[in-house]
Structure 1
Amino acid sequence: MSPFEGLTVLDFTWVYAGPFATRMLGYYGARVIRVESQTRPDQVRTSGLSRDPEDPEGQENSQQWHSINAHKESLQLNLKAPEARQVVLDLAAKSDIVVNAFSAGVLDRVGLSPAELLEVNPSLIVCSTTLFGQTGPLSPIPGFGNMGAATGGYYELTGWADRLPAGPFLAYTDATSPRLTAALLMAALDHRQRTGKGMVLDFSQAEGGIHFLTEAILDQEVNGYAQTRIGNADRWMAPHSVYQCANLQDDKWVAIACENDDQWVSLATTVGCVDLANLGLTQRQEREEELDDILQSWCSSKSPSEIMTSLQNAGVPVHQVQNSPEIASDDQLIHRDHFVEVPHAVYESTWVEQYGFRFSRSDGTPNRSGPLWGEHTFEILNDLLGYDGDEIADLVIAGVLE
């Protein structure tokens, strides 16, 4: 039996942060109902790599949609229609978890506040995952994880000292938030199992991202040292950078991180600068530019695989900087079935990804792609809620079902 088997999750989230969290529950047994609307379609529906280059914005053509929303059902529901409120309340009465990504006040205005949802189902877990949370002066502001990363302090720490802050790639707190959201939901489920009571969870993605900067915050508060961007360098490791290889002809690089003196001795011996092997960390940092030049010269004539074999055998942390095709063909990821081919209603098959963990007693390997637009609307309304044909027809006429 899967850990979340028997649970029903009503998913009002979109893009990355929320959908990644609810997908995790779906992989391990939960029934996840993804509520969509043509009045506010999920941006992922029409972005990223398209399966049809001639129709890049086609609603079923986004590769990332069918991975991010794998193992979910789709219900088309226009929340702006007044009659949609009762449908949501009926769904909440049948659900265990409701997750939303609406800014503060949005659900209150349509009569679907946490209090109103809990009134129909006191054991319900209502979770909000937004950029700034549901309270405070910034709570009404919608946004993406790049804003969360900037607010949380990441942009000051990434990039080069003589350049503008670069920030980590894409919407960074969209990547850090899902695991925290899932952990919150599991804690709430544990509490409900012990007490029978539901609860309201208010998760701020920007605040959650700060958790991963604990060391920098403590450094400032305790030591008075304000960490800032230093490129590829590291305060506690040297050498620590990326180096171009393959005769500098292709965009091929390796990352090397020398953690301690023993690794430096191995690295210096391997690259042929034994006379520098006795340098300590402080000395290596003082001469880091010189050492980087030595490593760059040594790497430039070798392939990434040659460098990895040589240095890994010597106990030095190194790996090729991989692009997307190289990740897809990575032997380690293939061994762990990280990318899984699953059936797709339009394209016969598509690829979805697993999470980076495996359970010994529960298989979370996905076997379904993301749903087509509104694919399960009738099934959910008829089988789960017990609506008959006339009731469903009335919802269509009222503009609730798009």
Structure 2
Amino acid sequence: MSGCLPRIRVLDMTRVFAGPWAAQLLGDFGADVVKVEQPGSGDDVRRMGFRKQGEDGAETGETSSFLAMNRNKRSIAIDIAKPEGQQQLRDLAAKADVFIENFKAGGLQRYGLDYAALAAINPRLVYCSITGFGQDGPYAPLPGYDPVFQAMSGLMSVTGNAEGDAGAGPAVVGYSVSDINAGFYATIGILAALHHRDTVSGLGQHIDLALLDAQVAAQSHIAMNWLVSGKPPVRGGTASQINTPWQAFETADRPLMLAVGNDRQFAQLCRVLGLPEVPADARFATNRARMAHKPELLPILQGALRTRPAREWMDALNAAGVSSGPINDFAAVAEDPQIRHRGMFRSLDDGAGGAQPMIANPLNFSATPVTYRSPPPALGAQGAEVLRDWLDEA
């Protein structure tokens, strides 16, 4: 046993992204995670994304999306439409610490697999339901996917190029941010409920998590800007809503992201750019003044930055304590010396003599390190093993 959660058993009855992401995190922390899938088809995400290609060009293995969400799990195929499948899952739930599901609100009740039914069998069970809109409310029965929640949460109203700029209009974030945020919240909630069970009550509880709620909450300071001021945030491209300069600028060869966090850093930026007079101008002396006078300030900075390549500016700015960085594609990310040093791109034995690429968990525990014990499982591959381990069945 290893990791922070070596004695925790998790039934992962989720599909696609949010639930599998949460369950994978628990698996990374050492929990025994069993992925419960429909026989024959399994998780929908087994058919979403790109597949690796063999030397002959033929597709091999699971999809990139499935591989991203399902390491450190074992798979069992159970047909919950059949009474024997329902009973088998109840038997497993009786031995579990955590049950995660993302069926429609109330969808498991007809199978006798809802929280009330399983808590009656196992009062210590932490049961996490992840849905689009939650277990109640006017939208509870509705389906939904990530871009819908990005739109409805307000995120798309602040994401994309500003009005009047080329390509103006709302844009989706380039990955399934609502799913991933919900997965993080689910993991936090599950860990909190386990702690309460083990230190306070001795009992599990039901966690009701909605992707829409999670995405609204994750917008934090941007949403709070509106609550405090009454002014709606706007789309700003790469620019911050509250600081300036805090955006991408053109250099002699490629874009460079600048993030100036205070007035001292602004003075340092101007010194490096050869503009020592700018911080002394009352229009630019404070961040509040700079925000009010962005149309005058930005062309001054842009004109200076276009005179040298991005690498030269980065070296000079880093030496002056001003944060800057390139806008990398993933090939550049993988080659970045800091990313390589931190080991964020790794490979895992795929169980067939090959190497499965993966993106590492970013948490580094001093005493209970994250472990990568197994690649994402084939559908139902460990069913007999799980039944033996959990239920002492042959």
TM-score with structure 1 setting the length: 0.87
The question of whether the paired residues in 2 share the 8 Å contact of 1:99 and 1:129 is answered with yes
Matched, 1:175 2:167: no
Match of 1:113 in 2: 114
d(CA) in 2 for partners of 1:211, 1:158? 16
**Residue 310 of structure 1 pairs with residue 310 of structure 2:** no
TM alignment of 1:3-402, pairs within 5 A: 3-38=4-39, 41-52=42-53, 54-56=57-59, 60-162=61-163, 163-194=168-199, 195-245=201-251, 247=253, 252-278=254-280, 279-280=284-285, 281-285=287-291, 287-289=293-295, 291-300=297-306, 302-346=308-352, 348-388=354-394
Which structure 2 segments of 5+ residues have no match? none
How far apart are the structure 2 equivalents of 1:154 and 1:45? 28
Change (3 A) 1:47 1:294: farther
The change in CA–CA distance for 1:134 and 1:376 in structure 2 (over 3 A counts) is: same
Mapped partners of 2:68, 2:349: distance in 1: 12
Q: Note closer, same or farther for the CA distance 1:296–1:45 as it changes in structure 2 (3 Å cut).
A: farther
Task: Decide which moves more: 84-93 or 143-152.
Answer: 143-152
TM-score where L is the length of structure 2: 0.89
Matched residues in 2 for 1:378 and 1:303: separation?
Answer: 60
Q: Distance in 2 between matches of 1:131 and 1:87?
A: 28
Q: Deviations over 1:198-254 (max 9, x none)?
A: 21111112112222233344433343222222333334322222124463xxxx432
- Structure 1 residue 287 displacement after superposition: 5.0
1:333, CA displacement in angstroms?
2.1
Alpha-carbon distance in structure 2 between the residues aligned to 1:82 and 1:92: 15
Deviates more, 1:300-309 or 1:266-275: 300-309
Instruction: Summarize deviations over 1:299-327 as a string: whole Å, max 9, x none.
Output: 44644433221111111111111111111
Question: In structure 2, how many angstroms separate the alpha carbons of the residues matched to 1:275 and 1:198?
Answer: 63
Task: Kindly indicate whether the alpha-carbon contact (under 8 Å) linking 1:11 and 1:35 is maintained by their aligned counterparts in 2.
Answer: yes
Aligned to 1:398: none
- Say whether the 8 Å CA contact 2:260–2:322 is kept in structure 1: yes
Question: Relative to structure 1, is the Cα distance of residues 293 and 220 closer, same or farther in structure 2, using a 3 angstrom cutoff?
Answer: closer
Deviation digits for residues 273-304 of structure 1 (CA, Å, limit 9, x no counterpart) = 23323232355445534544444454446444
Contact 1:8 1:32 in 2 (8 A): yes
Bigger Cα displacement from structure 2, 22-31 vs 36-45: 36-45
> 1:393: which partner in 2?
none
Which one-letter code corresponds to 1:28 in the other structure?
Answer: F
In structure 1, stretches of 5+ residues that fail to align are: 389-402
Letter in 2 for 1:274: P
In structure 2, the CA distance between the partners of 1:229 and 1:265, relative to structure 1 (3 Å rule), is same
- Alpha-carbon distance in 2 for matches of 1:13, 1:160: 35
**Superposition RMSD in Å:** 2.3
Percent of pairs identical after alignment? 29
Matched letter for residue 67 of structure 2: H
Q: Name the CA distance, whole Å, in 1 between partners of 2:288 and 2:369.
A: 48
Q: Please tell me the residue identity of whatever aligns with 1:30.
A: A
